[in-house]
Amino acid sequence: MATEYYVALSALIFAIGAVGVLTRRSAIMIFLSVELMLNAANLALVAYARHWAAAGTLVGITGQTAVFIILAVAAAEVAVGLGILVTIFRRRISTNVDNLSEVRL
Amino acid sequence: MITFAVLAVVLVIGALGVVLLRQPVHAALSLVGTLLTLAVVFVTLEAHFLAAIQVIVYGGAIMVLFLFVIMLLNLQEEATKTRAAYRWIAYVVGVVAAAAIATGALLDPRQAPDALAVSDALRGGSPELIAQVLFGEFMLAFQLVGVLLLTAMVGAVALVQRQAETPGAR
Protein backbone atom coordinates (compact mmCIF):
# COMPACT_ATOMS: atom_id res chain seq x y z
CA MET A 1 0.00 0.00 0.00
CA ALA A 2 1.38 3.40 -0.96
CA THR A 3 2.12 5.91 1.78
CA GLU A 4 -0.47 8.49 0.73
CA TYR A 5 -3.37 6.18 1.62
CA TYR A 6 -2.06 5.86 5.16
CA VAL A 7 -1.63 9.63 5.38
CA ALA A 8 -5.19 10.16 4.11
CA LEU A 9 -6.49 7.69 6.71
CA SER A 10 -4.48 9.51 9.37
CA ALA A 11 -6.00 12.83 8.27
CA LEU A 12 -9.48 11.35 8.46
CA ILE A 13 -8.97 10.06 12.01
CA PHE A 14 -7.37 13.34 13.06
CA ALA A 15 -10.37 15.28 11.72
CA ILE A 16 -12.80 12.95 13.52
CA GLY A 17 -10.87 13.55 16.74
CA ALA A 18 -10.93 17.31 16.14
CA VAL A 19 -14.69 17.24 15.63
CA GLY A 20 -14.96 15.36 18.91
CA VAL A 21 -12.94 18.03 20.71
CA LEU A 22 -15.18 20.73 19.24
CA THR A 23 -18.57 19.10 19.86
CA ARG A 24 -18.33 17.17 23.15
CA ARG A 25 -18.95 18.99 26.42
CA SER A 26 -17.70 16.49 28.96
CA ALA A 27 -14.00 17.03 29.71
CA ILE A 28 -13.28 13.31 29.66
CA MET A 29 -14.81 12.94 26.19
CA ILE A 30 -12.60 15.80 25.00
CA PHE A 31 -9.62 13.90 26.43
CA LEU A 32 -10.61 10.75 24.55
CA SER A 33 -10.84 12.75 21.31
CA VAL A 34 -7.39 14.24 21.94
CA GLU A 35 -6.02 10.71 22.30
CA LEU A 36 -7.58 9.93 18.93
CA MET A 37 -5.78 12.91 17.38
CA LEU A 38 -2.44 11.87 18.91
CA ASN A 39 -2.85 8.39 17.47
CA ALA A 40 -3.64 9.79 14.03
CA ALA A 41 -0.34 11.69 14.18
CA ASN A 42 1.42 8.47 15.21
CA LEU A 43 -0.05 6.66 12.21
CA ALA A 44 1.30 9.34 9.85
CA LEU A 45 4.76 9.14 11.48
CA VAL A 46 4.92 5.35 11.18
CA ALA A 47 3.74 5.52 7.55
CA TYR A 48 6.48 8.03 6.72
CA ALA A 49 9.02 5.93 8.62
CA ARG A 50 8.28 3.11 6.18
CA HIS A 51 8.29 5.52 3.25
CA TRP A 52 11.79 6.79 3.99
CA ALA A 53 13.20 3.43 5.06
CA ALA A 54 14.80 2.99 1.65
CA ALA A 55 16.83 6.18 2.25
CA GLY A 56 18.63 4.50 5.14
CA THR A 57 17.79 2.43 8.18
CA LEU A 58 18.29 5.19 10.74
CA VAL A 59 16.39 7.74 8.66
CA GLY A 60 13.39 5.42 8.60
CA ILE A 61 13.58 4.37 12.20
CA THR A 62 13.66 8.02 13.35
CA GLY A 63 9.92 8.25 12.63
CA GLN A 64 9.20 5.25 14.81
CA THR A 65 11.33 6.65 17.62
CA ALA A 66 9.33 9.89 17.48
CA VAL A 67 6.18 7.82 18.04
CA PHE A 68 7.89 6.39 21.10
CA ILE A 69 8.42 9.89 22.53
CA ILE A 70 4.81 10.84 21.76
CA LEU A 71 3.61 7.76 23.65
CA ALA A 72 5.52 8.86 26.75
CA VAL A 73 4.20 12.43 26.48
CA ALA A 74 0.63 11.13 26.03
CA ALA A 75 0.98 8.99 29.16
CA ALA A 76 2.18 12.00 31.18
CA GLU A 77 -0.60 14.16 29.76
CA VAL A 78 -3.26 11.61 30.69
CA ALA A 79 -1.94 11.20 34.22
CA VAL A 80 -2.01 14.94 34.96
CA GLY A 81 -5.18 15.60 32.96
CA LEU A 82 -7.21 12.93 34.70
CA GLY A 83 -5.83 14.10 38.05
CA ILE A 84 -7.09 17.62 37.33
CA LEU A 85 -10.41 16.16 36.15
CA VAL A 86 -10.90 14.19 39.38
CA THR A 87 -10.05 17.28 41.45
CA ILE A 88 -12.56 19.44 39.52
CA PHE A 89 -15.22 16.75 39.76
CA ARG A 90 -14.84 16.51 43.54
CA ARG A 91 -15.39 20.24 43.85
CA ARG A 92 -18.20 20.65 41.32
CA ILE A 93 -19.82 17.23 40.69
CA SER A 94 -19.57 17.94 36.97
CA THR A 95 -17.04 17.61 34.18
CA ASN A 96 -18.97 19.83 31.79
CA VAL A 97 -16.46 22.29 30.39
CA ASP A 98 -19.12 25.01 30.06
CA ASN A 99 -19.31 25.20 33.86
CA LEU A 100 -15.59 25.98 33.97
CA SER A 101 -15.72 29.15 31.90
CA GLU A 102 -14.25 31.22 34.74
CA VAL A 103 -11.00 29.23 34.43
CA ARG A 104 -10.13 31.14 31.26
CA LEU A 105 -8.11 34.30 31.43
CA MET B 1 -4.94 -3.83 -0.37
CA ILE B 2 -7.85 -5.74 1.16
CA THR B 3 -6.07 -5.77 4.52
CA PHE B 4 -5.67 -2.01 4.42
CA ALA B 5 -9.29 -1.45 3.36
CA VAL B 6 -10.64 -3.62 6.19
CA LEU B 7 -8.36 -2.00 8.77
CA ALA B 8 -9.23 1.49 7.53
CA VAL B 9 -12.96 0.82 7.77
CA VAL B 10 -12.64 -0.60 11.29
CA LEU B 11 -10.45 2.36 12.34
CA VAL B 12 -12.88 4.95 11.03
CA ILE B 13 -15.90 3.21 12.59
CA GLY B 14 -14.06 3.02 15.92
CA ALA B 15 -13.08 6.70 15.70
CA LEU B 16 -16.65 7.72 14.89
CA GLY B 17 -17.81 5.65 17.86
CA VAL B 18 -15.47 7.60 20.16
CA VAL B 19 -16.92 10.90 18.96
CA LEU B 20 -20.58 9.98 18.59
CA LEU B 21 -21.42 7.47 21.37
CA ARG B 22 -23.14 9.22 24.25
CA GLN B 23 -22.10 6.96 27.14
CA PRO B 24 -18.47 7.71 28.16
CA VAL B 25 -17.80 4.03 28.88
CA HIS B 26 -18.95 3.03 25.39
CA ALA B 27 -16.81 5.75 23.83
CA ALA B 28 -13.76 4.64 25.84
CA LEU B 29 -14.26 1.00 24.82
CA SER B 30 -14.61 2.14 21.22
CA LEU B 31 -11.28 3.94 21.61
CA VAL B 32 -9.71 0.71 22.95
CA GLY B 33 -10.86 -1.05 19.78
CA THR B 34 -9.47 1.76 17.63
CA LEU B 35 -6.10 1.65 19.38
CA LEU B 36 -5.82 -2.14 19.02
CA THR B 37 -6.70 -1.84 15.31
CA LEU B 38 -4.04 0.84 15.01
CA ALA B 39 -1.55 -1.66 16.48
CA VAL B 40 -2.44 -4.03 13.64
CA VAL B 41 -1.87 -1.19 11.15
CA PHE B 42 1.56 -0.65 12.73
CA VAL B 43 2.33 -4.33 12.06
CA THR B 44 1.44 -3.87 8.40
CA LEU B 45 3.84 -0.87 8.38
CA GLU B 46 6.80 -2.93 9.64
CA ALA B 47 6.69 -1.45 13.16
CA HIS B 48 6.28 -4.62 15.20
CA PHE B 49 7.87 -3.29 18.38
CA LEU B 50 5.71 -0.16 18.30
CA ALA B 51 2.63 -2.34 17.78
CA ALA B 52 3.48 -4.24 20.97
CA ILE B 53 4.10 -0.97 22.84
CA GLN B 54 0.83 0.41 21.48
CA VAL B 55 -1.10 -2.53 22.90
CA ILE B 56 0.71 -2.49 26.25
CA VAL B 57 0.92 1.25 26.94
CA TYR B 58 -2.10 2.66 25.07
CA GLY B 59 -4.51 -0.26 25.00
CA GLY B 60 -3.43 -1.33 28.47
CA ALA B 61 -2.18 1.39 30.79
CA ILE B 62 -3.70 4.59 29.42
CA MET B 63 -7.14 3.16 28.63
CA VAL B 64 -7.36 1.42 32.00
CA LEU B 65 -6.68 4.82 33.57
CA PHE B 66 -9.48 6.35 31.49
CA LEU B 67 -11.99 3.61 32.30
CA PHE B 68 -10.97 3.76 35.95
CA VAL B 69 -11.68 7.49 36.13
CA ILE B 70 -14.97 7.14 34.22
CA MET B 71 -16.15 4.46 36.62
CA LEU B 72 -14.76 6.26 39.69
CA LEU B 73 -16.63 9.45 38.83
CA ASN B 74 -19.67 7.44 37.68
CA LEU B 75 -19.97 9.63 34.59
CA GLN B 76 -23.27 9.45 32.77
CA GLU B 77 -24.11 10.76 29.34
CA GLU B 78 -23.94 14.49 28.89
CA ALA B 79 -27.06 16.29 30.06
CA THR B 80 -26.83 19.13 27.56
CA LYS B 81 -25.86 19.07 23.93
CA THR B 82 -23.75 21.62 22.15
CA ARG B 83 -25.85 24.18 20.32
CA ALA B 84 -26.82 22.77 16.91
CA ALA B 85 -25.27 25.66 14.98
CA TYR B 86 -21.90 25.18 16.69
CA ARG B 87 -22.12 21.43 16.14
CA TRP B 88 -22.65 21.87 12.42
CA ILE B 89 -19.79 24.35 12.21
CA ALA B 90 -17.58 21.73 13.90
CA TYR B 91 -18.71 19.04 11.44
CA VAL B 92 -17.99 21.31 8.48
CA VAL B 93 -14.55 22.18 9.88
CA GLY B 94 -13.78 18.47 10.32
CA VAL B 95 -14.93 17.47 6.85
CA VAL B 96 -13.06 20.35 5.19
CA ALA B 97 -9.85 19.64 7.14
CA ALA B 98 -9.95 15.91 6.40
CA ALA B 99 -10.76 16.47 2.72
CA ALA B 100 -7.99 19.08 2.37
CA ILE B 101 -5.25 16.91 3.87
CA ALA B 102 -6.47 13.73 2.18
CA THR B 103 -6.65 15.29 -1.29
CA GLY B 104 -3.26 16.90 -0.65
CA ALA B 105 -1.82 13.48 0.10
CA LEU B 106 -3.64 11.65 -2.70
CA LEU B 107 -2.75 14.27 -5.35
CA ASP B 108 0.91 13.46 -4.72
CA PRO B 109 0.93 9.75 -5.55
CA ARG B 110 4.11 7.82 -5.01
CA GLN B 111 5.19 4.29 -5.57
CA ALA B 112 4.55 2.01 -2.64
CA PRO B 113 8.00 1.44 -1.13
CA ASP B 114 9.56 -1.87 -2.06
CA ALA B 115 8.46 -4.30 0.65
CA LEU B 116 11.71 -6.25 0.61
CA ALA B 117 13.90 -3.14 0.91
CA VAL B 118 11.70 -1.81 3.70
CA SER B 119 11.76 -4.94 5.82
CA ASP B 120 15.51 -5.16 5.19
CA ALA B 121 16.04 -1.57 6.41
CA LEU B 122 13.58 -1.47 9.32
CA ARG B 123 13.92 -5.10 10.41
CA GLY B 124 10.38 -4.94 11.78
CA GLY B 125 11.20 -1.79 13.74
CA SER B 126 13.32 -3.82 16.12
CA PRO B 127 14.03 -2.46 19.64
CA GLU B 128 17.73 -2.53 18.83
CA LEU B 129 17.36 -0.01 16.01
CA ILE B 130 14.95 2.18 17.96
CA ALA B 131 17.37 2.24 20.88
CA GLN B 132 20.17 3.33 18.54
CA VAL B 133 18.19 6.40 17.49
CA LEU B 134 16.65 7.01 20.92
CA PHE B 135 20.01 7.08 22.70
CA GLY B 136 21.78 8.81 19.83
CA GLU B 137 19.91 11.44 17.85
CA PHE B 138 16.99 11.65 20.33
CA MET B 139 19.12 11.80 23.49
CA LEU B 140 17.94 15.31 24.46
CA ALA B 141 14.29 14.43 23.79
CA PHE B 142 14.71 11.24 25.81
CA GLN B 143 16.05 13.12 28.81
CA LEU B 144 13.38 15.81 28.52
CA VAL B 145 10.72 13.08 28.50
CA GLY B 146 12.29 11.77 31.71
CA VAL B 147 11.94 15.23 33.29
CA LEU B 148 8.38 15.48 31.94
CA LEU B 149 7.37 12.15 33.45
CA LEU B 150 8.85 13.17 36.80
CA THR B 151 6.97 16.48 36.64
CA ALA B 152 3.75 14.70 35.73
CA MET B 153 4.21 12.31 38.65
CA VAL B 154 4.83 15.16 41.11
CA GLY B 155 1.88 17.07 39.63
CA ALA B 156 -0.51 14.14 39.93
CA VAL B 157 0.54 13.52 43.56
CA ALA B 158 0.24 17.25 44.37
CA LEU B 159 -3.27 17.39 42.92
CA VAL B 160 -4.45 14.57 45.16
CA GLN B 161 -2.48 15.88 48.15
CA ARG B 162 -4.25 19.23 48.21
CA GLN B 163 -7.57 17.40 48.22
CA ALA B 164 -6.50 15.39 51.25
CA GLU B 165 -5.54 18.53 53.19
CA THR B 166 -8.82 20.36 52.58
CA PRO B 167 -11.57 17.76 52.67
CA GLY B 168 -14.41 20.21 53.24
CA ALA B 169 -13.42 22.72 50.56
CA ARG B 170 -16.38 22.20 48.24
* Kind plus residue range of the DSSP H or E element containing A79: helix A57-92
- SS3 per residue for B73-105: HCCCCCCCCCCHHHHHHHHHHHHHHHHHHHHHH
- B126-157 exposure pattern, b = at least 16 Cβ within 10 A, e = fewer: eeebbebbbeeebeebbeebeebeeebeeebe
Residues B56 and B14 in one domain: yes
Are residues B99 and B147 located together in one domain of the fold? no
**What is residue A40's predicted lDDT score, i.e. its pLDDT?**
93
- What pLDDT is recorded for position B168? 58
What is residue A2's predicted lDDT score, i.e. its pLDDT? 81
Q: Does B95 touch chain A (CB under 8 A)?
A: yes
Total tally of structural domains belonging to chain B: 3
Least confident of B5-14, B125-134, B154-163: B154-163
Given a cut of 80, whether residue B108 has pLDDT beyond it is: no
Residues A2, B134: C-beta atoms closer than 8 Å: no
Same domain, B2 and B71: yes
* Mean pLDDT score of chain B: 84
**Contact status of B160 with chain A (Cβ, < 8 Å):** yes
What is the reported pLDDT for B13? 94
Q: Does the structure show a pLDDT above 60 at B170?
A: no
Of B28, B35, B156, the CB nearest to A39: B35
Q: Mind listing the pLDDT tens digit of every residue in chain A (105 residues)?
A: 788 888 889 999 999 999 999 888 888 889 999 999 999 999 999 988 888 877 777 777 888 889 989 999 998 998 888 888 888 887 777 777 777 777 666
Q: Which residue of B has its CA nearest to A93?
A: B73
What is the average pLDDT across B10-36?
91
- First-to-final CA distance of chain B: 56
Any CB–CB contact under 8 A between B133 and chain A?
Answer: yes
Rounded CA separation B62/A45 (Å): 20
If asked whether residues B5 and B71 sit together in one domain, one would say yes
- Residues in A closer than 8 angstroms to B109, CB to CB, are 2, 4
Considering only CB atoms, which chain A residues are within 8 Å of B133? Answer: 58, 61-62, 65
Q: Percent of chain B having pLDDT more than 90?
A: 30
Q: What is the DSSP letter of A101?
A: G
Cβ pair B105, A4 in contact under 8 A: yes
Q: Does B18 touch chain A (CB under 8 A)?
A: yes
B72 with B113, same domain?
no
Domain A3-98 adopts which CATH fold? Helix Hairpins (1.10.287)
Most confident among A77-81, B114-118, B161-165 (mean pLDDT): A77-81
Which chain B residues are Cβ-neighbours of A64 within 8 angstroms? 47, 49-50, 122, 125, 130
If asked whether residues B67 and B20 sit together in one domain, one would say: yes
pLDDT tens digits for range B50-89: 999 999 998 888 899 889 888 888 777 766 666 788 888 8
Higher-confidence residue of B82 and B143: namely B143
Instruction: Residue B87: give the domain boundaries.
Output: 83-121
Q: Which residues does chain A have within 8 Å of residue B111's beta carbon, measured at their own beta carbons?
A: 2
A26/B125: higher pLDDT: A26
Side chain identity, residue B40: V
Q: Which residues of chain B lie closer than 8 angstroms to A88, CB-CB?
A: none
* B32 — pLDDT class (breaks 50, 70, 90): very high
The pTM score is 0.87
The rounded distance, in Å, linking the Cα atoms of A80 and B48 is: 29
Per the CB < 8 Å rule, is A12 touching B12? yes
* Distance in angstroms (rounded) separating the CA atoms of residues A27 and A5: 32
The Cβ of residue B60 has, within 10 Å, a number of other Cβ atoms equal to: 14
Q: What is the pLDDT of residue B163?
A: 53
- Report the 10 Å Cβ neighbour count for A40: 24
Question: Could you tell me if B28 and B44 lie in one domain?
Answer: yes
B128 touching A (Cβ < 8 Å): no
Tell me: do B7 and B71 sit in the same domain. yes
Q: B129 lies in a domain?
A: no
pLDDT at B47: 86
